Structure 1
Amino acid sequence: MDPVYEVEQRCADAWPAQVDERLGEWRLRAAGGFTGRANSALTCGDPGMPVSEALLRVETFARRNGISPAAHVVRDAKHENAVAAAGWVVNEDHPGGAESGVLTGPLTGFHSPPVDGVEVSDVPTPGWWELAAQAVPTAAQRHVLASGSGSGFGSVTRDGEVVAAVRGAVVGDLLHIARLAVRPDHRRGGLARGLLAGLAEWGAKNGATRCALQVAEHNTPAWRLYTSLGCAEHHRYRYWVPLGT
């Protein structure tokens, strides 16, 4: 199996959309507008029809599910030119940035000095929701973040308050990492590294040997953090939208 296709499929499984329909090997996803990944067509593989026709299906799917049409396209994929030829353009206004990198690495690199209060649970707490998403999550947020099997919700608590949070999901031997957040007044104290080390230990106990995560191209601090933990860029992707939307 193509390694990019394999990683993208596992990441999609770790981030379950409320609606996930197959179009050949493509996946049409919708989740009430919560995150680009859960509300775009993953265009890895063969849709079983010309790309231009497949993109019309993407638009129809989006209208039916009340979201804007978008295609998650791996940079330099063989069908990228066909997406452009169909009149789609890179979404330069995407909230997370026009381009994101997918980083992968072994869990053995996630070392940190001990951090008190690190916990990974099977169920997100109210404090975890408040920091990682919002205090009262929407149905879409609950589905994407907490409906899948093999999910772990990492947190660091200080004086009864969750001050750092992260989500992990194990798919096969891959630990997907997302939603890392540290309260501003607790940053630069090693909490992120300590929390990630705890999540990596949890992932290893659940069968993972490697990790993957998506980072926006402009998020320099996150790139530095994960590369220092042994992760490296695997590939990049961009969101494309019909011209004029």
Structure 2
Amino acid sequence: MTLESLCADAWPALVDKPLGAWRLRANGGYTGRANSALTLGDPGVPVPSALAAVEAFAEAEGIRPCAHVIIGSAVESAISAAGWRVNLDHPKGAESAVLVSTSPALGAAAEVADEPSDGWFELVVGSPTPAQRHLLTSGPRVGYAHAVRDGRVVGAARGCVVGSVLHVSVVEVAADFRRQGIARTLLAALDEWSRPSARVLQVAVHNEPALGLYAALGYRESHRYRYWVPA
């Protein structure tokens, strides 16, 4: 299993259809990963035909056509040749890094539960839509870390275990409680809960504070991906 396949399994969209080795995903517009075609390997048809299928799928699901593409891959060259462009307008940035670590996150741990605690959703997404609730609560084995100060949830994180690997998909700290070590506490909690062989997460390359935190915790870049859309 590739890292990208593992990440997709840990962040499962409402709709996930195969197109050869590609995966056509839709989740009501919530997150780029869950509303893009994961373009790994051979789609079973020429790339221009595969991209036409991505567009038809997106139209049927009511989302924007989008391809999730590993930077520097042969598929990326083919998608570029077919006339698509990098989506520089993506709200969280067109390019993300996939980071991996085999080092435990040490430190005081927060609580981890099998279901989101009161206040967890509110901090992460506010009042969740059905699509948001599905994405955040689905996966092989999901755990929800939370940190509480004075009765208020001020930190929230989501981890999903696929095989023996921990995928970290949410780390959120209330604005007035940042730079107090809460993110480290949440990550240590997920580590203690899952006892993984390795950890993986995806983060936008412009998110320098997060990249600094993860580097300090032993994460190293595996590769990058970016989103492509029809020109």
Aligned pairs for 1:129-208 within 5 A: 129-134=121-126, 136-204=127-195, 208=196
Residue in 2 aligned with 1:40?
Answer: 36
RMSD of Structure 2 on Structure 1 (CA): 1.0
C-alpha contact (below 8 Å) 1:21/1:28 kept by paired residues:
yes
Number of aligned residues: 231
What SS does the corresponding residue of 1:111 show, helix, strand or coil?
Answer: coil
CA distance in 1, matches of 2:33, 2:169: 12
1:217 and 2:230 are equivalent in the alignment: no
Tell me, which stretches of 5 or more residues in structure 2 are unaligned? none
CA distance in 2, matches of 1:43, 1:223: 25
TM-aligned CA deviation for residue 156 of structure 1: 0.4
C-alpha contact (below 8 Å) 1:128/1:165 kept by paired residues:
yes
C-alpha contact (below 8 Å) 2:117/2:146 kept by paired residues:
no
- Give the stretch that moved more between structures: 173-182 or 223-232: 173-182
Match of 2:219 among 222, 227, 231: 231
Residue in 1 aligned with 2:18?
Answer: 22
TM-aligned CA deviation for residue 98 of structure 1: 1.4
Q: Given the two structures, how large is their TM-score scaled by the length of structure 1?
A: 0.92
CA distance in 2, matches of 1:107, 1:177: 14
C-alpha contact (below 8 Å) 2:58/2:65 kept by paired residues:
yes
C-alpha contact (below 8 Å) 2:97/2:225 kept by paired residues:
yes
Change (3 A) 1:107 1:172: farther
CA distance in 1, matches of 2:222, 2:229: 24
Greater than 6 Å deviation, 4+ residue runs: none
Letter in 2 for 1:219: N
Change (3 A) 1:107 1:128: farther
CA distance in 2, matches of 1:151, 1:10: 14
1:65 and 2:53 are equivalent in the alignment: no
Tell me, which stretches of 5 or more residues in structure 1 are unaligned? none
C-alpha contact (below 8 Å) 1:107/1:200 kept by paired residues:
no
Q: Given the two structures, how large is their TM-score scaled by the length of structure 2?
A: 0.97
C-alpha contact (below 8 Å) 1:39/1:67 kept by paired residues:
yes
1:111 and 2:103 are equivalent in the alignment: no
Q: Give CA deviations for 1:14-40 in whole Å, capped at 9, x if unaligned.
A: 001000000001000000000000000
Aligned pairs for 1:44-59 within 5 A: 44-59=40-55
Once the two structures are aligned, what percentage of the paired residues are identical?
A: 56
TM-aligned CA deviation for residue 107 of structure 1: 4.2
Match of 2:95 among 99, 123, 129: 99
TM-aligned CA deviation for residue 185 of structure 1: 1.5
Q: Give CA deviations for 1:152-207 in whole Å, capped at 9, x if unaligned.
A: 01100112110101000000121110221111221111111111111111111xxx
Letter in 2 for 1:85: A
What SS does the corresponding residue of 1:79 show, helix, strand or coil?
Answer: helix
What SS does the corresponding residue of 2:122 show, helix, strand or coil?
Answer: helix
Residue in 2 aligned with 1:90?
Answer: 86
Residue in 1 aligned with 2:118?
Answer: 126
Match of 1:31 among 27, 34, 56: 27
What SS does the corresponding residue of 2:221 show, helix, strand or coil?
Answer: strand
Letter in 2 for 1:147: S
